[in-house]
Amino acid sequence: MDRRRINGPAGATQPPVFDDVVSQGAKTVSGRSRMPDASRKMYLKTGVTPSASGSAYLEMETSAKPGASGLKLSCSVHGPRALPRSAPFSPHIVLSTHIKYAPFATKQRRGYLRDPSERDLGIHLEAALRGAIIADRWPKSGVDIIISIVEGDQDRETSKSQGEEAWDMMNALAGCITVAAAALADAGIDCVDTVAGGVAALVQDGGADSTPTIVVDPIPSDHAKILAACCIAYLPTRDEVTNLWFRGDLPASDMDLYTHLVEKGILASRNANCVLTNCLMETIE
């Protein structure tokens, strides 16, 4: 509970559903317009916040409405700077990550304070970045990585979300990892490699009996059912995974399916890494 501000009523209200679309009835699943291995278009720019030592902005295309943009992330990196005198000695850089959805970013309003899911995302991001940063070059110092999700990627035309929050979180995390890596590079903090995030999902498009397929960079509203998904933070030149987050329901007898899913997740993060590298090259020139 936020005591410093005037809070809205505690009781939940239904978010408004606008009825101006042709689809008056239940919205059918539109289906995926991209190839299974193609990621969405992404816009990445570094150095957007002059007061921070490093910053980046990422925008991702949504397929709910062609041409419109979905996920918008802004990341700023403060540091490396000296730890306060009261802090205990640390032989490494102390990394603190902070991910916050803007209150208006999703259909359901988010509060000003971070809720558990945002804290959870922060820990995931920390695990992904800590593997990439060469932490022992900055003893006794700290760096803050602050990401605000200005707009979440949600299809506003569907009135009710069908348990998609979990999969949305994975997409958001992948974006957060990529944008944080760009901001870290902009701040000039030494990393072993540029880390980028990618998502792959096992989806079932045609009914319960159809064979599931694996797609890269899924949008939950495009698919009838998502069976499993994984988000991967990957270092391409070292061929190493710094963070793996899998969620879903897979039979244990089918290890191949899991392995393929991880391979596709790596492919997705390679795609994101291309954008990241190009963006950083442009900054140098």
Partner 1 sequence: MSSTNHVLLSPAELAYLHASLSLTPPIRPDGRAPTQFRPLVAETGILPGTNGSARICFADGTEAIVGVKAEVERTVVGPEGEGVIVEGGEGEVEEGGGEGEAGWVEMTVEIPGVRDDDSGTAFLAAMLSEGLLADEGFVRRLWINRRFHWKLYLDIILISPPLSYPLPLLSLTTHLALLSTRLPRLKSEGDEDPFFDDDWAAAPYLFPRPNGKSTTFVSQTRPPITLLVMAVGNNIIFDPSKEELAVADVALAVSVTAGSSSSQAPSKHVPMDTSTEGRNLRLLSIRTIDPPSRLTPPGVANAANSAYGANAGQKTTHEAQATAEGEAVEGVWRAPRGGAKRMVLGALVQKVLERGGVVDEVLDALEGVDLG
* Residues at the interface with partner 1 (CB under 8 A): 12, 14, 17, 26, 88, 90-92, 116-117, 119-120, 122-124, 126-127, 130-132, 134-136, 159-160, 163, 165-166, 192-193, 208, 230, 233-235, 238-253, 255, 258-259, 262, 266
Q: Given the complex with partner 1, which of 61 and 80 has the nearer CB atom?
A: 80
Which structure tokens are listed for 68?
Answer: 């419109």
Smallest gap from residue 51 Cβ to partner 1 (A): 25
Q: 201 has which bridge partners?
A: 215, 229
Q: Given the complex with partner 1, which of 216 and 233 has the nearer CB atom?
A: 233
Q: For residues 101 and 111, what is the distance between their CA atoms, to the nearest angstrom?
A: 9
Which is nearest to 195 in space by CA: 230, 231, 229, 241?
241
Which is nearest to 272 in space by CA: 191, 215, 198?
198
Smallest gap from residue 252 Cβ to partner 1 (A): 4
Q: Given the complex with partner 1, which of 29 and 123 has the nearer CB atom?
A: 123
Q: Given the complex with partner 1, which of 60 and 196 has the nearer CB atom?
A: 196
Smallest gap from residue 16 Cβ to partner 1 (A): 11
Q: Given the complex with partner 1, which of 34 and 247 has the nearer CB atom?
A: 247
Exposed (0-12), middle (13-18) or buried (19+): which is 89, by Cβ within 10 Å? exposed
Smallest gap from residue 76 Cβ to partner 1 (A): 19
Count of CA atoms in the C-beta half-sphere (13 A) of 104: 1
Smallest gap from residue 248 Cβ to partner 1 (A): 6
Which is nearest to 58 in space by CA: 195, 156, 217, 174?
174
Q: Given the complex with partner 1, which of 45 and 258 has the nearer CB atom?
A: 258
Which structure tokens are listed for 189?
Answer: 């903090």
Q: Given the complex with partner 1, which of 40 and 264 has the nearer CB atom?
A: 264
Position 96, amino acid: S
Q: With contact defined as beta carbons under 8 Å apart, do 56 and 75 qualify? A: yes
Smallest gap from residue 162 Cβ to partner 1 (A): 9
Give the helix ranges, DSSP H, for 30-146. Answer: 116-130
According to DSSP, the β-strands at 42-46 and 225-235 are: unpaired
Smallest gap from residue 159 Cβ to partner 1 (A): 6
